[in-house]
Amino acid sequence: MYDNRQRFEARAFLLLLAASSALFGWLLLPFFDVLFWSVVIAVLFAPVNARLRDRHGLSPNLASLLTVLFCLVIIILPLSWLLYSCVAEGVSLYERLAAGSTSLIDAVDRLREHFPEAQAWLADYGYTPEQIKAALSKTALSLGSLIAKNTVAIGGGAAHLVTNLALVLYISFFLVRDGGRLRNVMIRALPFGDHREERLFRKFAGVMRATVKGSLLVAMAQGALGGLIFWILGIRAAVFWGVVMTVLSLIPVVGSALVWLPTALYLLATGQYWQGALLMAYGACVIGLADNILRPILVGRDTKLPDFLVLISTLGGFIMFGMDGFVSGPMLAVFFVTVWQIFMEECESGAYPSEERPREDDAR
């Protein structure tokens, strides 16, 4: 009777533990992005914090503060300026389109001059140059109207971004300072076996650093190279298109070619041969090869997932988590692969004894 009561109380307490954890997770759900990027910053800059503590003998609070300020100076402030420049150029570009769409209409005229066959082919399907120009003008006016209607929303979004950034820096301070202690507490609390949890935490830390360095830094390099060549060639809104190429570079296989390749083809089609040829060669030899050169340097072989798994997990992460997906998607893939690796290794070592097979004499 006493054993039954103890068993009932243990099960009831486990139910209470699960319910309280689920409710607390639901409470933190609106701050998922803030907590996620705070963890990323803490993991990414943990070596900096350790060096400040061990080699320079700084106190935990001062070392954590300097680590967060270091992150603010080398990453957050430059990205904020880049985002501001991108928004300003994007708004300016859309305003020019909404003011008359002359650049788009001129582009249609130049394409028609160089490719009269395309005009005849489009006419067979009922698309005359006048219809195309009217559609482009209507689209440009719609974009201008959309920006005018969402001016207040853009301001509110900027205020929300600043608030979230302050929360990220505040939480990052404590995660950087107490990260090792929190890790030990989680290893002690989780019921999966300390050796498995140690391996998972090591794998997560390594893959998170590799993903951020190998994806974000390579994407930023490709975007910067793309924006530079656009500025040299005199293409408008070079910063805006550079940021667009940075975002697209986070998607494996496709990448920034979705921007520079159509632009190069357009330049060639409109008679700007040396600009188009230069952009084509630069995109293939400089922007395209940046991934092949930088990624092996920034990402170790031990943390590299198969290319097809990187593509699927990144795209799935974008769909499920938005911009966080370029990190969270591969992290989930690594979690899946690591758990199965541990399971297979323990199966091979006999950690999970299988049922004895019936002897041949018994079968008879």
Same domain, 207 and 171: no
Q: What is the mean pLDDT of each run of 10 residues along the chain (364 residues)?
A: 76 90 90 87 87 85 90 78 68 59 56 59 61 61 53 54 84 90 85 81 77 77 88 82 81 76 81 85 84 66 64 80 76 82 80 51 47
Same domain, 34 and 182: yes
Same domain, 38 and 118: yes
Nearest to 219 by CA among 155, 298, 138, 104: 298
Q: What is the pLDDT of residue 20?
A: 92
Same domain, 239 and 275: yes
Any domain includes 231: yes
Same domain, 121 and 197: no
Distance CA 46, CA 176 (A): 6
Distance CA 151, CA 40 (A): 31
CB of 326 within 8 A of CB of 218?
no
Question: What count of Cα atoms within 13 Å lies in the side-chain half-sphere of residue 312?
Answer: 8
Q: What is the pLDDT of residue 173?
A: 92
Q: Count structural domains, the chain.
A: 2
Q: What is the pLDDT of residue 311?
A: 72
Q: What is the pLDDT of residue 151?
A: 45
Same domain, 43 and 137: yes
Same domain, 215 and 339: yes
> Would you give the DSSP letter of residue 354?
P
Domain boundary among 146, 174, 189: 189
Same domain, 43 and 166: yes
Any domain includes 12: no
Q: What is the pLDDT of residue 16?
A: 92
Same domain, 122 and 212: no
Domain boundary among 163, 189, 215: 189
Question: What count of Cα atoms within 13 Å lies in the side-chain half-sphere of residue 111?
Answer: 16
Q: What is the pLDDT of residue 122?
A: 60
Q: What is the pLDDT of residue 1?
A: 57
Any domain includes 143: yes
Any domain includes 22: no
Same domain, 59 and 168: yes
Q: What is the pLDDT of residue 301?
A: 52
Same domain, 163 and 207: no
Parent domain of 313: 193-347
Same domain, 219 and 290: yes
